[in-house]
């Protein structure tokens, strides 16, 4: 009987959760797996993302045309004679049209990317809450409620923003690189080679700083979740805190935890 009860206790303690939702302290997957998951979550928003990228292309073309248009206007007005007023109106109307299309493309890009981010966040919240509800009770004993709510709110927002933001930034960088290179080549091929020579150095520096900032952001989120968890425990047990007269001490402790994050924010 004892052996059976011990076996039953062992089988109960080693029961796996319904879904693979690990506590927040577990290590994160590799970067490539994260990117694949992000793009998978963004796949239902593909039509909006494609339309947003098309709008971004219009904005990029108008931005690249801006120096040419300003130069043409300066050249035109500097050599203006009495018989050129008709061409002036056409040139100004063309410039205004280009800028108007650029502004419209910028608005559409912002609007469509915001809709895509909201759609990704909505699906992630549904899936995350369903996964949390399917966990064993032992999972809730190991995880704080405030930490789970933080994952459901802040982390989902950050993930949705990163999902659409990666698409937006990638396409913007490609647009800027191709458009800027074509413009530089048309002006001066030698200047283009000089400009491209410093790209690897700047890229390595940006990657190093990005990894450093990512580590700081992750640590800051963990510290914030810990501080919020402490505050939640104290508020939930406010009768005990007041029984021992520790209101000021607990508030001071919470303030010290927040002040300890100031150095991370300044970096």
- Mind spelling out the 3-state secondary structure of 182-222? HHHHHHCHHHHHHHHHCHHHHHHHHHHHHHHHHHHHHHHHH
Q: Percentage of residues in the chain with pLDDT exceeding 70?
A: 85
Residues 112, 59: Cα–Cα separation, whole Å: 14
What does the pLDDT read at residue 28? 46
Give the whole-angstrom CA distance, residue 37 versus residue 162: 11
Average pLDDT over the chain reads 79
Share of the chain above pLDDT 90, in %: 4
Residue 107, pLDDT > 90, answer yes
Q: What is the dihedral of CA 225, 231, 237, 240, to 10 degrees?
A: 130
Q: How confident is residue 86, by pLDDT bands cut at 50, 70 and 90? A: low
pLDDT > 60? residue 13:
no
The reported pLDDT for the residue numbered 104 is 92
52-56, 200-204, 227-231: range with highest mean pLDDT: 52-56
| pLDDT of 6 strictly over 50 | no
Query: What per-residue confidence (pLDDT) applies to 267?
Result: 65
Give the global pTM. 0.58
Q: What is the Cα–Cα distance from 208 to 160, expressed in whole angstroms?
A: 24
Q: State pLDDT tens for residues 44-82.
A: 888 998 999 999 989 888 888 888 888 888 877 777 555
HSE-CB of 99 using CA atoms within 13 angstroms: 11
What pLDDT, on the 0 to 100 scale, is given for residue 81? 52
Task: Assign 85 a pLDDT band (cuts: 50, 70, 90).
Answer: low
Q: How high is the pLDDT of residue 51?
A: 92
pLDDT reported for residue 111: 93
In sequence order, the 6+-apart residues with CB closer than 8 A to the CB of 28 are 34
């Amino acid at each position: 009987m004892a052996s059976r009860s011990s076996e039953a206790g062992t089988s109960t303690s080693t029961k796996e959760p319904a879904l693979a939702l690990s506590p927040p302290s577990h290590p994160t997957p590799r970067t490539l797996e994260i990117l694949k998951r992000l793009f998978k979550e963004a796949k239902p928003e593909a039509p909006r993302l494609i339309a947003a990228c098309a709008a971004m292309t219009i904005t990029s073309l108008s931005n690249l045309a801006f120096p040419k248009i300003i130069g043409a206007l300066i050249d035109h007005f500097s050599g203006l004679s009495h018989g050129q007023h008709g061409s002036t109106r056409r040139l100004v109307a063309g410039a205004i049209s280009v800028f108007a299309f650029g502004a419209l493309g910028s608005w559409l890009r912002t609007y469509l990317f915001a809709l895509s981010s909201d759609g990704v966040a909505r699906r992630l919240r549904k899936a995350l809450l369903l996964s949390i509800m399917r966990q064993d009770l032992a999972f809730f004993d190991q995880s704080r409620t405030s930490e789970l709510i933080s994952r459901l709110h802040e982390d989902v927002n950050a993930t949705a923003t990163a999902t659409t933001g990666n698409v937006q930034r990638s396409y913007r960088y490609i647009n800027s690189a191709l458009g800027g290179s074509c413009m530089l080549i048309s002006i001066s091929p030698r200047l283009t080679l000089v400009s491209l020579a410093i790209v690897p150095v700047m890229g390595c520096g940006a990657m190093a700083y990005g990894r450093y900032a990512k580590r700081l952001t992750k640590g800051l989120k963990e510290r914030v979740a810990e501080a919020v968890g402490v505050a939640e425990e104290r508020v939930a047990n406010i009768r005990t805190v007041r029984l021992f007269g520790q209101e000021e001490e607990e508030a001071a402790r919470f303030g010290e935890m927040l002040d300890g994050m100031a150095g991370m924010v300044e970096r």
